[in-house]
Amino acid sequence: MSGFVEKPEPVQVPGLTHLHTGKVRDLYQNADGDLIMVASDRTSAYDWVLPTEIPDKGRVLTQLSLWWFDQLADLAPHHVISTDVPPGAPADWAGRTLVCSSLTMVPVECVARGYLTGSGLVEYEQSRTVCGLALPEGLVNGSELPAPIFTPATKAAVGDHDENVSYEEVARQVGAETAAQLRQLTLAVYSRARDIARERGLILADTKFEFGFRGDRLTLADEVLTPDSSRFWPADQWQPGRAQPSFDKQFVRDWLTSPAAAWDRTGEQPPPALPQDIVERTRAKYIEAYERLTGHTWS
Ligand SMILES: Nc1ncnc2c1ncn2[C@@H]1O[C@H](COP(=O)(O)OP(=O)(O)O)[C@@H](O)[C@H]1O
Ligand SMILES: [Mg+2]
């Protein structure tokens, strides 16, 4: 089982059309045709959107994404037009809203991996490849790869996991020229971000970007380099050969799988509400990620 424990109703704002309620973000369109992305405080774990929110999470991740777009601006243009809250929208949207130019999205999840884990590890253990790329023997969960790799995936329907595909498959789907640009941009942006994170004591293990066309220009879209779209690991606890502690949701995952939660994640029942101290510690982790990466104090 998976999905929303409680699916929120879209907010009605005059002049905005509701497009989509995502796991974490709500999408609207304004009269100019721009995309309004509102990051909620929802969080997901084990394929469920949990019934408990993490206060300020949407704001923290929106500010982090904006900071990254700035760090990357010389490598890739981005989709953000402004952070203005549309007239008539709830005051709570401040800080969590991005007005973006509506792009023609490329239907490829552009993943870069510098370390082996997750679906990459699963494929590696079967075939010594990731997305068809051959890797050396002897890598384990959390190993650093000889060099970052582009491991694209295609979007699956809601609730399903994305499917890793080969570069050749991407080239067939979007054309050789676009595929080459996606790979080049993804690896360039990952490498820049990995180096910045490393200076701050964080390992950027992998991350996912989405690109769209503004005219004929590939533009960085969606959110970038947040703990929701990336794996950040504390460098001082990195130990290949085991699962690395996740920088953000470790408390949530640990608690949900503990006896205290009394929840069977393989069963039919939705996950229970999170206790207050788990909420607070998780909120503190998101803020720590923001503060460590940006060097700014969260206020
Ligand atoms: N600038 C943009 N123009 C058009 N679509 C975009 C842009 N940026 C992101 N998107 C799309 O918006 C959607 C965001 O949905 P998301 O919040 O990720 O929900 P879900 O949880 O269903 O994936 C994705 O389909 C993404 O491709
Ligand atoms: Mg998404």
The class of domain 1-102 in CATH terms is: alpha beta
Eight-class DSSP state of 107: S
What separation in angstroms does the CA of 141 have from each of 38, 119, 243?
34, 11, 6
42 lines ligand 1 (CB under 6 A): no
Per the model's pLDDT, the better-predicted residue between 99 and 155 turns out to be: 99
Q: Where are the domains of the chain?
A: 1-102, 104-237
Q: Which ligand is nearest to the CA of 39?
A: 1
Mutational test site, ligand 1, from 222, 226, 230, max ligand atoms within 8 Å of CB:
222
The residues, any chain, with a CB within 8 Å of residue 154's CB and separated by 6 or more, are 107, 108, 109, 162, 163, 165, 169, 173
Span from the CA of 136 to the centroid of ligand 2 (angstroms)? 31
Tokens of 59: 């704001």
Q: For the purposes of burial, counting CB atoms within 10 Å of the CB of 216, is it exposed (0-12), middle (13-18) or buried (19 or more)? A: exposed
pTM: 0.96
Determine the pLDDT at residue 1.
61
Span from the CA of 132 to the centroid of ligand 2 (angstroms)? 24
Q: What is the pLDDT of residues 230-282, one digit of tens each?
A: 999 999 999 999 999 988 999 999 999 999 999 999 998 999 999 999 999 99
* CATH number of this structure's domain 104-237: 3.30.470.20
The residues, any chain, with a CB within 8 Å of residue 215's CB and separated by 6 or more, are none
Residue ranges of the alpha helices (H) in the chain?
Answer: 57-71, 118-127, 167-174, 176-199, 250-256, 276-294
Q: What is the pLDDT of residues 93-107, one digit of tens each?
A: 999 999 999 999 999
Instruction: Give dist(CA 174, CA 182) in Å, integer.
Output: 10
